[in-house]
Amino acid sequence: MSTHINDNIRLEAAGENALILYFSDNGQATAVITPEISSKVHQAEQLIRQHLSAEIVDLIPSYASILVVFNLLEIDHHHLRNKLKKLLKQCDNSNSRPGRLIELPAYYSLESGLDLARIAKRAKLSVEQVIALHQGQEYRVYAIGFAPGFAYLGEVDKRIAMPRLATPRLKVPKGAVAIADRQTAVYPAESPGGWNIIALCPLDMFNAQAEPIMTVAVGDRVKFVAIDKQQYVKLGGKLP
């Protein structure tokens, strides 16, 4: 059963102990990815964590939705649905607190950015211009997925947007800063991947022993700051 909380938020069942909130803009049937919708998601997540923490097991926010997993011993679908309707009825991104600004160091070079030269050639820019465009943006964390700590950041300058590789690499190094379409991300661990690599970041994006376990969260803002090879190694970075 689908319930409209307001013109921009729809609530549906998503399993025995889960509900899902869908966010749109001005009542559109299909949500698009925008900073405004992301702000609504971020605000709703804050409100739910603040007011319903006793009933909630987990919240999984994404581009335009939040999966709400709840404790069946504490509450049922019906009562949680009513609480969410009341809590989020006046949800307005204008009242949302901005996410944290996180600065991530990035070692940009032809050595660490395997696809930098190809991106520059395609964009008809110099390598230095590609680097300047990438670190000149402030990116919103829209979602975390694919792997723990893999944050989807948007949007890169359209001049350096790149399609995914036709043949993904079998091994993308941990810390690879990469571009796919108009999104950018940092690979939290070595893994296969088809994004275009432009730099390396020495920081851990995910650490199960740390608190918090992830460097960034949905709703945060990210700025890349260029560092040289010596600084990269000093911060714990390793060259592949």
Q: Quote the pTM value.
A: 0.81
Residue-level pLDDT, tens digit, the chain, 240 residues:
678 888 888 999 999 999 999 988 765 545 567 777 888 888 898 899 889 999 999 998 888 889 999 999 999 989 999 999 999 886 765 555 667 999 999 999 999 999 999 999 999 999 999 999 999 999 999 988 888 899 999 999 999 999 999 999 999 999 999 999 999 999 999 999 999 999 999 999 999 888 889 999 888 999 999 999 999 999 999 988
Beta strands, E only, 100-203: 101-108, 139-144, 151-154, 169-172, 176-180, 183-186, 191-193, 196-200
Total of domains in the chain? 2
pLDDT at 3: 84
73 in the same domain as 110: no
22 in the same domain as 72: yes
CATH number at residue 163: 2.40.100.10
Residue 93 lies in a domain: no
Among 37, 61, 88, residue at a domain's last position: 88
105 in the same domain as 81: no
Residue 50 lies in a domain: yes
Among 88, 118, 151, residue at a domain's last position: 88
150 in the same domain as 183: yes
Q: How far apart are CA 177 and CA 193, in angstroms?
A: 12
Residue 183 lies in a domain: yes
Residue 94 lies in a domain: no
45 in the same domain as 83: yes
pLDDT at 72: 92
Residue 96 lies in a domain: no
Q: How far apart are CA 214 and CA 150, in angstroms?
A: 9
Q: How far apart are CA 102 and CA 80, in angstroms?
A: 33
139 in the same domain as 207: yes
Among 88, 122, 140, residue at a domain's last position: 88
pLDDT at 31: 55
Residue 8: domain span: 3-88
pLDDT tens for 128-182 read 999 999 999 999 999 888 888 999 999 999 999 999 999 999 999 999 999 999 9
**Who contacts 131 (Cβ-Cβ below 8 Å, separation ≥6)?**
108, 116, 198, 199, 226
230 in the same domain as 195: yes
Residue 52 lies in a domain: yes
C-alpha angle 137/226/110, rounded to 5°? 105
pLDDT at 27: 52
Give the residue carrying structure tokens 């006793």: 54
210 in the same domain as 182: yes
79 in the same domain as 108: no
pLDDT at 26: 62
128 in the same domain as 31: no
CATH number at residue 17: 3.30.1360.40
